[in-house]
Amino acid sequence: MSAKRTATPADEREATKAALAWMGHRADTAVGTAGDRPGDDLAGNGDPGQMDCVDVATNLSSYMLVMENHKIFRHHSVGSIHVKEDIRRGWSGWTHYAGVLVEDKTKQKFAVDGWLLASGKPPEIVEVERWYIDDNDIMFGTKAPVKTATAPKPAG
């Protein structure tokens, strides 16, 4: 993530998506989760390679902490994992987890969420206020691509 490509916080978030996709695909391939299906695939029950949102949030947060420790971020810091729910909505309001980037200047928190996406796809990065609750298609991968990703190109 070069300084030129990350001149603004928005640029940095876009570059972070690509870097996280690359890091995630490398790790998923190494540990056997590259076939993880998007979202909450009930057919994946018992599949050791299937990840839930807690797994995905933990992994994305870990990758971002590595980036932060190497001083890659110029406009953001890594926040605590964010949890949101509205159980009154039933299945589509179930508790959900995401990693967090905090924009240094404005302190705006952004949810970093790849749970609805196949391995190697760039995660969504969206303001925590807009994330999840107003999305009726969150469950069972209804917004997610059908195919598992191929290896993304390294960022930078």
Percent of the chain with pLDDT over 90: 51
Task: State the residue for tokens 């947060």.
Answer: 61
**Does residue 25 sit within a domain?**
yes
Domain count within the chain: 1
pTM: 0.81
Q: What is the mean pLDDT of residues 117-121?
A: 86
Average pLDDT rounded to a whole number, residues 131-151: 45
Q: Does residue 1 fall inside a structural domain?
A: no
Q: Is residue 13 part of a domain?
A: yes
Q: Residue 38 pLDDT more than 50?
A: yes
Residue 106 lies in a domain: yes
Burial class of residue 54 (count of CB atoms within 10 Å of its CB; 0-12, 13-18, 19+): middle
In a domain, 26, yes or no: yes
67 lies in some domain: yes
Q: How far is CA 96 from the centre of its chain?
A: 12
Within 10 Å of residue 87's Cβ, how many Cβ atoms? 9
Q: For residue 108, give its domain range.
A: 9-39+49-141
Q: Is residue 79 part of a domain?
A: yes
Q: Quote the pLDDT of residue 153.
A: 53
pLDDT band at 104 (very low <50, low <70, confident <90, very high): very high
**125 lies in some domain:** yes
Choose among 7, 27, 38: nearest CA to 114. 38
